[in-house]
């Protein structure tokens, strides 16, 4: 009997030891798996307590699923959805002319500036505040090299190596960024932009490179009895001659238009690339600062103001268009028609269409 009791006590101790060993092993297994998964969770940029991104959310997430709830943000969201819808509707309605090419190549993406730090892609359009936007992108992507956009000289903002563009990536990296980054562009009333380009490139003395490259060609082709000086310098191109150059089929056969007067849909390909935000020159500061708020830098960086006294206005555009024929006016409208429709600009009242 005593032997039986001793055997039972011995077995009970063994069972307790086995149970304790199993429980300890189970706890170790739990800690092991926790140690495996915890680093992954900390690296997750979508987690609530991400370590490195501002608010651990990128601008694209903030646009479509905002954490900032306010009347201002709600109104902006409605406005930009309407602008996106306008672009999509125009692309569908004019699919033949807007999608002449089914596939884009990397060379078509040279206007798309990439900011890796804040996951932004900006398609720059000349004569739509692009100098200041390039300055801002240099501040955003400069990793502390710049803090004030206006301290960056304008010529430095246009140095190609100072900003990275989407065409410099591999096809896989291009597709990833087009899917994951917030893509935006800024547009302007097409004829105001056109007149602004003409005034800047052909009426200012310092733009000798444009005078030589384009002015001499325009004078030679479209000016009767041109003087030797005009043929050599190309410095006094008339707007009527510039318009004739733009609508000449031969101009389009020899090369794409210069970026300063090329259409927005040809520069940024909005029927092939889904832009999340379409900002407008007419509401530049509000739209630009909305982008910066989405990127999480709205409290530390503001978009530079611009000199309103020197900008090309609707009245100024009307003055220049009154100096060309109704035929040329109609031809220019056809050239920029998709920009008018896509970005919801009405036909100018001064236009005399046949």
pLDDT given at position 97: 67
pLDDT given at position 284: 96
Tell which residue, 197, 167, 190, 192, has the closest CA to residue 273: 167
pLDDT given at position 101: 60
pLDDT given at position 192: 97
User: Looking at residue 46, what DSSP letter applies?
Assistant: T
pLDDT given at position 142: 85
pLDDT given at position 107: 86
pLDDT given at position 72: 82
Distance separating alpha carbons of residues 243 and 134, to the nearest angstrom = 29
Tell which residue, 265, 284, 78, 291, has the closest CA to residue 183: 291
Please give the model's pTM, rounded to 2 decimal places: 0.82
Please identify every stretch of the chain with a pLDDT value under 70, giving residue numbers as ranges: 1-56, 96-102, 307-309, 354
pLDDT given at position 3: 52
pLDDT given at position 49: 31
Distance separating alpha carbons of residues 235 and 349, to the nearest angstrom = 31
**Is 226 in contact with 220 (CB distance < 8 Å)?**
yes
pLDDT given at position 238: 97
Distance separating alpha carbons of residues 225 and 58, to the nearest angstrom = 60
Half-sphere exposure in the Cβ direction for 153 (13 Å, CA): 3
Q: Is the dihedral of CA 340, 341, 347, 353 positive or negative?
A: positive
pLDDT given at position 273: 96
pLDDT given at position 33: 30
Q: What is the pLDDT of residues 164-223, one digit of tens each?
A: 999 999 999 999 999 999 999 999 999 999 999 999 999 998 899 999 999 999 999 999
Domains of the chain, residue spans: 59-343
Q: What is the pLDDT of residues 218-259, one digit of tens each?
A: 999 999 999 999 999 999 999 999 999 999 999 999 999 999
pLDDT given at position 149: 94
Distance separating alpha carbons of residues 152 and 135, to the nearest angstrom = 6
pLDDT given at position 103: 81
Contacts (Cβ under 8 Å, ≥6 apart) of 304 = 132, 135, 136, 149, 150
């Amino acid at each position: 009997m005593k032997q039986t009791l001793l055997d039972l006590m011995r077995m009970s101790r063994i069972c307790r030891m086995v149970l304790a060993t199993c429980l300890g092993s189970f706890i170790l297994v739990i800690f092991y798996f926790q140690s495996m998964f915890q680093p992954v969770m900390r690296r997750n940029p979508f987690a609530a307590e991400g370590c490195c991104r501002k608010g651990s959310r990128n601008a694209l997430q903030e646009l479509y699923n905002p954490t900032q709830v306010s009347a201002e943000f709600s109104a902006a969201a409605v406005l930009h959805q309407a602008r996106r819808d306008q672009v999509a509707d125009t692309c569908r309605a004019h699919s033949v002319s807007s999608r002449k090419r089914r596939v884009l190549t990397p060379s078509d993406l040279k206007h798309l500036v990439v900011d890796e730090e804040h996951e932004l892609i900006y398609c720059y359009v000349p004569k739509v505040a692009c100098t200041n936007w390039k300055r801002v992108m240099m501040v955003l992507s400069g990793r502390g090299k710049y803090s004030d956009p206006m301290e960056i000289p304008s010529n430095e903002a246009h140095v190609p190596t100072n900003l990275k563009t989407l065409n410099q990536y591999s096809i896989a990296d291009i597709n990833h960024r087009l899917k994951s980054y917030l893509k935006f562009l800024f547009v302007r009333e097409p004829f105001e932009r056109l007149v602004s380009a003409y005034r800047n490139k052909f009426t200012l003395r310092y733009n000798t490179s444009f005078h030589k490259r384009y002015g001499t060609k325009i004078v030679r082709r479209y000016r009767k009895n041109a003087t030797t000086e005009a043929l050599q310098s190309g410095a006094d191109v008339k707007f009527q001659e510039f318009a004739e150059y733009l609508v000449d089929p031969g101009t389009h056969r020899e090369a794409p238009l210069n970026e300063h007067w090329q259409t927005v849909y040809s520069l940024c390909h909005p029927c092939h690339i889904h832009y999340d935000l379409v900002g407008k020159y007419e509401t530049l500061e509000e739209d630009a600062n909305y982008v910066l708020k989405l990127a999480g830098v709205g409290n530390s960086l503001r978009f530079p103001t611009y000199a309103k006294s020197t900008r090309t206005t609707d009245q100024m555009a009307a003055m220049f268009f009154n100096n060309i024929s109704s035929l040329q006016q109609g031809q220019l409208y056809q050239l920029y028609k998709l920009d008018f429709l896509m970005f919801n600009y009405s036909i100018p009242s001064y236009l005399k269409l046949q």
